[in-house]
């Protein structure tokens, strides 16, 4: 959204995100895997899917969270398995275009947020940080931020929500301040 609709968006916070898979073969493989998972939801039910999904390494930190069982129970109460399967398949990273090249032309400030224990997405965020040109000498680049939240993994918003709330609030405040400065208005505290 930030890349395609920069005229309508003032900034974006990306939590444990990625601009997609760069390699066409990797996208094809991921599409097939997600389609298989989607069929499994319908065929074998949501509980088996959730057990398999959360057994992956990406969720290791979340599994040790005190509310993990509560989170899984809440997610297991879903009565539209066909719809859920369709979403899993349709929103597969294998079906999304790679936006890596587009990052160089990003016209809105981005805040990249990852968990300290999420090695995979920390690498992705570091690569994104490099691609967005955070070191350029323009107003947008100076507002880009990359934040590593301590003691959490991929589900940073579930594992440690209070720092996320604080970070988003600070980011939005900085965007608002810049907008007021651009309009020649002073913000009175």
Q: Is 163 contained in some domain?
A: yes
What is the dihedral sign for C-alpha 58, 61, 63, 69? negative
Token code pair at residue 182: 């651009």
Mean pLDDT calculated for residue range 84-102: 96
Mean pLDDT calculated for residue range 69-82: 92
The answer, as to whether pTM is greater than 0.75, is yes
pLDDT for residue 189 is more than 50: no
Q: Is 53 contained in some domain?
A: yes
pLDDT for residue 184: 66
Last residue of a domain, one of 60, 90, 120: 90
Mean pLDDT calculated for residue range 52-74: 94
Are 103 and 172 members of one domain?
Answer: yes
Mean pLDDT calculated for residue range 4-8: 91
pLDDT for residue 101 is more than 80: yes
Residue 174 belongs to domain with CATH number: 3.40.50.1820
pLDDT for residue 138: 76
pLDDT for residue 39: 97
pLDDT for residue 67 is more than 90: yes
Could you list the residue range(s) of the whole structural domain that residue 139 is in? Answer: 12-19+99-182
Are 121 and 50 members of one domain?
Answer: no
Last residue of a domain, one of 46, 73, 90: 90
pLDDT for residue 139: 76
Q: Is 5 contained in some domain?
A: no
pLDDT for residue 35: 98
Place of tokens 């594992």: 159
Q: Is 187 contained in some domain?
A: no
pLDDT for residue 188 is more than 60: no
* Number of domains the chain contains: 2
Are 106 and 175 members of one domain?
Answer: yes
Last residue of a domain, one of 45, 64, 90: 90
Q: Is 122 contained in some domain?
A: yes
Q: Is 188 contained in some domain?
A: no
Mean pLDDT calculated for residue range 64-77: 93
Q: Is 7 contained in some domain?
A: no
Lowest-pLDDT choice from 32-41, 94-103, 137-146: 137-146
Are 103 and 160 members of one domain?
Answer: yes
Are 170 and 105 members of one domain?
Answer: yes
Q: Is 3 contained in some domain?
A: no
65: left (phi over 0), alpha (psi -120 to 50) or beta: beta
Query: Cβ(85)–Cβ(45) under 8 Å?
Result: no
Are 81 and 114 members of one domain?
Answer: no
pLDDT for residue 185: 59
Are 109 and 178 members of one domain?
Answer: yes
Residue 111 CB contacts under 8 Å (≥ 6 apart), including other chains: 11, 12, 13, 14, 144, 145, 146, 147, 167, 168, 171
Mean pLDDT calculated for residue range 33-51: 96
Are 75 and 108 members of one domain?
Answer: no
Q: What would the pLDDT profile of 116-163 be if each residue is shown by its tens digit? A: 999 999 999 999 999 998 777 777 878 899 999 999 999 999 999 999
Mean pLDDT (the chain, rounded): 91
């Amino acid at each position: 959204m930030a890349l395609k609709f920069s005229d309508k968006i003032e900034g974006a916070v990306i939590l444990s995100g990625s601009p997609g898979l760069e390699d066409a073969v990797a996208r094809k493989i991921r599409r097939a895997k997600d389609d298989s998972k989607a069929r499994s939801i319908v065929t074998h039910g949501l509980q088996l899917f959730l057990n398999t999904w959360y057994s992956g390494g990406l969720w290791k930190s979340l599994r040790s969270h005190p509310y993990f069982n509560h989170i899984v129970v809440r997610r297991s109460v879903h009565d539209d398995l066909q719809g859920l399967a369709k979403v899993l398949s349709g929103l597969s990273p294998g079906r999304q275009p790679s936006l890596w090249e587009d990052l160089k032309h990003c016209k809105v400030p981005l805040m990249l947020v990852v968990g300290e224990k999420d090695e995979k997405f920390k690498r992705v965020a570091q690569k994104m940080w490099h691609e967005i040109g955070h070191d350029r000498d323009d107003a947008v680049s100076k507002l880009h931020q990359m934040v590593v939240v301590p003691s959490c993994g991929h589900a940073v918003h579930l594992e440690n929500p209070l720092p996320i709330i604080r970070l988003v609030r600070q980011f939005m405040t900085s965007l608002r301040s810049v907008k007021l400065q651009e309009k020649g208005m002073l913000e009175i505290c």
